[in-house]
Structure 1
Amino acid sequence: MDIRPERLGSPAFRAAHGVRAAYVIGGMVKGISSVEMVRAAGNAGYLAFFGAGGLRPAAVNEAVAQLSADLGPARPWGVNFLHNPLIPAQEDALAELLLASGVRCIEASAFVRITPALVRYRLSGLEFDGQGRPLPRRRIIAKVSHPDMARRFMEPPPADLVADLRARGLLTAREADAAGEVPLADDVCAEADSGGHTDRRPSFALIPAFLRLRDETARAQPRLPPVRIGAAGGIGAPEAVAAAFVLGADFVLTGSINQCTPEAGTSEAVKDMLAAAQPQDFDMAPAGDLFEIGAKVQVLKRGSLFAARANRLYELYRANAALDDIPAPLLADLEAKTFGRRLDDVWRETEAYYRQAAPEELADIGPKKRMAMIFRWYFIHSQRLAQQGDTAQRVNFQIHCGPAMAACNRWLADTPWADWRQRHVDRLADRLLEGAAQVLAQRYAGLNAD
């Protein structure tokens, strides 16, 4: 049987996004999914998302301007839209920037609730066909792991948020009236055991559940256009790509493996560490942006003490009401080994940032919240160290990654691609799809053999 790589997945997905294959390169924070990565993917006909999370608006604006000039509207590209529960105003500012810049596609990730910024982005500029049916100009791919959130993205935007946006003049009357006729997202990606924010659910359970949820929603609201279902998490080898399509995924989305490419916006030191990763080299740590509620991210453990040190900070936060409750020798140890500076200095830097970015966060601040804000500084610092490649601080590198990286390394071992410098992101996509097509052809041939 001849299976063509570009025919895998949903033809509707390829048509809607103007891509040559049902393969997406997901966004990674702080520009790790760089302009160079998105440009290389777009020129090769793949959809990729710039990693806007954690960047200042000026940096995002510059990246969007570059991509608009380099790729324009004809080639596929988009921007990652990361949920910001700590400073919601930053979501609003990002939506404003993307609307003003004409960005036509976003990847919504790490959302634990639907926010006004998402709804505004989706509904702004609605067009209508000859029968008066709404046609969203802006597409959303939602990357989620919880069925409740998946359902919310499959349904129309919440009516109360739509009404509020209309009252504030951020949507027109016609846009608000048509909101009930479009799903919030065009595509919902089932995020299984992945790097970064993850519930570590297995794809073999998650993808079928999302497909059935999609079908239930379609039966309950037949007027809505159908939502496509993608697969993410654990995809680092051709066999995993093939399995996702056999399970019924309309498209696949890769993340961790793209950090280990020349185009990734992180340091060579990080890429060397990732290229050596094996299946046992990953661990769970608290998520810096969701620190107080105990959300988790998956990180590279080999060569770094970040996971152990971050988990220790969370345990101290849970067990104490204030920094003053922590024994002085333990605080001194944290300053020397984890923070690398006095905690008073950490607080001064943190306070200065919030006075500029979100002064309301400093109002009526109590000792517990102050401790959390100081501890969260370590998560920002450890990401910065990794991207800068400060090898003297390697033990504090925070590298979001999952076991897909190990599968990719094993697949490419003993080939020229074992060197990450050869793993250009577009060619890596080509090879994964070609390999998946070969795997499927071999399996089907085996099933039909006498």
Structure 2
Amino acid sequence: MAKKLTTSGVTHAHNYADQSRHDAAVRFEPGEITALVREIRSPLRVLQAPSTGRKGVQRIPGPESDGGGHGDARLVGVLPALYPEWLGSRQFCRTHHVRFPYLVGEMSTGIATTKMVQTLASAGLMGLFGAGGLREQVLRGSVEQLALTLRGRGNWGVNLIHSPNEPASEVRTARLLVELNVPVVSMSAYLDLTPAVVLCMARGLCTDGTGRVRRARRVLAKVSRPETAERFMSPPPAPLLRQLVADGELCAEEAALAARIPIAQDITVEADSGGHTDNRSLAVMLPAIRTLRDRVAGSVRVGAAGGLGTPAAVAAAFALGADYVLTGSVNQAAIESGMSEVGRHMLVQADITDTAMAPSADMFEMGVRVQVLRRGTMFAGRSALLHELYQTYESLEDIPAHRRTQIEKQIFAAPLETVWAQTSRFWADRDPDQLALADRNAKHRMALVFRWYLGMSSRWAIAGDPDRRADYQIWCGPAMGAFNRWAEGSFLAAPENRGVVQIALNLLEGAAVITRAHQGRVCGLPVAARGFHFAPRRLSETGAAR
């Protein structure tokens, strides 16, 4: 028995040695080179044969000396191992207690659900709960649930969205996030700073033993304009700080400390995205805001959002210097999303060109627009007609009879009087000052009626109301169509397989594969086109990263 075991051991040792020699062989054929380059967790030597000038690769570990194990081939470079979590800023990952430089964005009205945020946090990722548009009682219950289930974790956050027509509601939301000790607050849709922004940033500031300012919560800001980015990269303006101290929202010490540090620790550059967007190119905006950051506040990290629906797009964002990436539209179709099943299926069928711009419900009077799904819904055209009427007439009574009939029958599916009654009940509970203004200003009354449709259209989509499918407002950018094209034929093509963690891991793994292929080409290796393609596959939460 002992002899047999020994023989077996010797045979195994010979086989292992043969395999090691085989693995250490230098590969010069393009197909073999591409296959090895795609093994992103294996470091490789890049070698050049002096007789032919051809470049090849060899696995590491192999023979240690440059001259040994690869004949007369000359060492010209090394491709180190690459892991998805190394694509962005390590400091970002340490600060936010995450494994990957990746966020799932704050899709409003609870589309980014508590379940989505909890699922991501458990996987070492981070999601931002979509607080925008929720009633305060619903928001409180959701945030309390997150605070309870994710107690002790720092990798989750909640959105604070700009509400120019409801500043008091915005401040109440900020107070709630502070009260419930939300670890991360992501601010979006801001054109300028407001008291709510500064309150969230400054409340609870203190110093440590070395005199450094310590934050009670981390602040991210999603921006699409350099001037807005600069405001968030800078300390709060003195007048806002004085106002908050006078109002009793901050103490003098908190205001003094706030004047020493930038408002945000992370700036997310939002390019062509779903919902609020300026439709700008990430390749234009990200370098510009990174340059601005270097001039204004070198410690602030800069991330990328908008248009990130494929591994290639994610790899491109990191190549542009993004410290982290944030995805949005693609997660709206995920099983953890608050979107209805019918809405998710509509998103799964979307192509790159199936989006349109439409008036924004929260900034209707300002003419601000959002990007929405066009395929399968008439919302974009119908809401555009309402905004045209708002710009043309001074009151509902001024609208010609045939247009009023069109609105009631084709858009509202209800008489204007009924819509106003529902609108009045809503604002009586939420902000009675809006009704008082409507009594004095007929144009404001018209705006509230039209905003009823814009607000309800997103709720119909979330609820999956079968009678209002033609009116669904689903925020969506071209990235959704790009994701669908990439996922076609894979397990992610099916709606029931689209979990937020699988979406994240596949985008990150694919981005690492594409980054490695590019590194190989930079070294002069003949990496084939397939080296830049990554097909979705089921990835374990531990197997996709070191």
TM-score class, shorter: over 0.9
1:270 to 325, 343, 347: 343
Pair 1:357 & 2:430 matched? yes
1:363 Cα shift? 2.7
8 Å CA contact 1:283–1:307 kept in 2: the answer is yes
Question: Aligned equivalents of 2:357 and 2:155: distance in 1?
Answer: 33
Amino acid at match of 2:342: A
Give the secondary structure class of the aligned counterpart of 2:302. Answer: strand
8 Å CA contact 1:4–1:437 kept in 2: the answer is yes
1:262 Cα shift? 0.4
Give the secondary structure class of the aligned counterpart of 2:112. Answer: coil
User: 1:195 corresponds to which residue?
Assistant: 274
Number of aligned residues: 444
Amino acid at match of 1:389: G
Question: Aligned equivalents of 1:212 and 1:418: distance in 2?
Answer: 39
2:500 to 425, 444, 447: 425
Aligned-residue identity in percent: 45
User: 1:396 corresponds to which residue?
Assistant: 471
8 Å CA contact 2:205–2:258 kept in 1: the answer is no
User: 1:221 corresponds to which residue?
Assistant: none
2:117 to 29, 35, 38: 38
Question: Aligned equivalents of 1:428 and 1:114: distance in 2?
Answer: 34
8 Å CA contact 1:417–1:423 kept in 2: the answer is yes
Give the secondary structure class of the aligned counterpart of 2:362. Answer: helix
Pair 1:375 & 2:424 matched? no
1:186 Cα shift? 0.6
User: 1:296 corresponds to which residue?
Assistant: 369
1:109 to 188, 199, 202: 188
More off after superposition, 56-65 vs 396-405: 56-65
User: 1:308 corresponds to which residue?
Assistant: 381
2:161 to 82, 87, 92: 82
Question: Aligned equivalents of 1:359 and 1:414: distance in 2?
Answer: 52
Question: Aligned equivalents of 1:200 and 1:181: distance in 2?
Answer: 34
Give the secondary structure class of the aligned counterpart of 2:370. Answer: strand
Pairing of 1:224-235 with structure 2 (within 5 A) = 226-235=299-308
Pair 1:287 & 2:366 matched? no
1:75 Cα shift? 4.5
8 Å CA contact 2:96–2:154 kept in 1: the answer is no
Question: Aligned equivalents of 1:321 and 1:94: distance in 2?
Answer: 33
Per-residue CA deviation, residues 304-352 of structure 1 (Å, 9 max, x unaligned), is: 0000001111111111111122111211111111011111111111122
Question: Aligned equivalents of 1:75 and 1:108: distance in 2?
Answer: 17
1:441 to 507, 516, 527: 516
Amino acid at match of 1:13: F
Q: Write out the 4+ residue segments of structure 1 that deviate beyond 6 Å after TM superposition.
A: none
User: 1:62 corresponds to which residue?
Assistant: 141
Give the secondary structure class of the aligned counterpart of 2:522. Answer: helix
Question: Aligned equivalents of 1:415 and 1:70: distance in 2?
Answer: 33
Give the secondary structure class of the aligned counterpart of 1:49. Answer: strand
Per-residue CA deviation, residues 377-414 of structure 1 (Å, 9 max, x unaligned), is: 00111011101112232110000000110111011100
User: 2:283 corresponds to which residue?
Assistant: 204
1:295 Cα shift? 0.5
User: 1:14 corresponds to which residue?
Assistant: 93
User: 2:481 corresponds to which residue?
Assistant: 406
Pair 1:148 & 2:227 matched? yes
Question: Aligned equivalents of 1:77 and 1:178: distance in 2?
Answer: 25
1:274 Cα shift? 0.3
8 Å CA contact 2:309–2:482 kept in 1: the answer is yes
1:143 Cα shift? 0.4
Give the secondary structure class of the aligned counterpart of 1:280. Answer: coil
8 Å CA contact 2:236–2:262 kept in 1: the answer is yes
User: 2:420 corresponds to which residue?
Assistant: 347
Amino acid at match of 1:335: E
User: 1:182 corresponds to which residue?
Assistant: 261
8 Å CA contact 1:194–1:234 kept in 2: the answer is yes
Question: Aligned equivalents of 1:27 and 1:294: distance in 2?
Answer: 22
8 Å CA contact 2:154–2:183 kept in 1: the answer is no
Question: Aligned equivalents of 1:44 and 1:210: distance in 2?
Answer: 30
Give the secondary structure class of the aligned counterpart of 1:106. Answer: strand
What TM-score, normalized by structure 2, do the two folds share?
A: 0.80
Amino acid at match of 2:511: A
User: 2:36 corresponds to which residue?
Assistant: none
8 Å CA contact 1:9–1:251 kept in 2: the answer is yes
Question: Aligned equivalents of 1:392 and 1:362: distance in 2?
Answer: 29
Question: Aligned equivalents of 1:325 and 1:65: distance in 2?
Answer: 47
Pairing of 1:151-166 with structure 2 (within 5 A) = 151-166=230-245
Pair 1:247 & 2:323 matched? no
Question: Aligned equivalents of 1:177 and 1:6: distance in 2?
Answer: 37
Amino acid at match of 2:462: Q
8 Å CA contact 2:357–2:380 kept in 1: the answer is yes
8 Å CA contact 1:45–1:75 kept in 2: the answer is no
Give the secondary structure class of the aligned counterpart of 2:279. Answer: coil
Per-residue CA deviation, residues 109-143 of structure 1 (Å, 9 max, x unaligned), is: 01122111111111111121223221112111100
Amino acid at match of 1:121: C
Amino acid at match of 2:506: R
Per-residue CA deviation, residues 390-442 of structure 1 (Å, 9 max, x unaligned), is: 22321100000001101110111001110121011011101100000000101
8 Å CA contact 2:127–2:157 kept in 1: the answer is yes
Specify the structure having the higher radius of gyration (Cα). Answer: 2
Question: Aligned equivalents of 2:183 and 2:351: distance in 1?
Answer: 38
Amino acid at match of 2:428: R
Give the secondary structure class of the aligned counterpart of 2:262. Answer: coil
Give the secondary structure class of the aligned counterpart of 1:33. Answer: coil
Question: Aligned equivalents of 2:363 and 2:500: distance in 1?
Answer: 30
1:63 Cα shift? 1.2
Amino acid at match of 1:295: V
1:234 Cα shift? 0.3
Unmatched tracts of structure 1, length 5 or more: 219-224
Question: Aligned equivalents of 2:230 and 2:115: distance in 1?
Answer: 34
Amino acid at match of 1:148: E
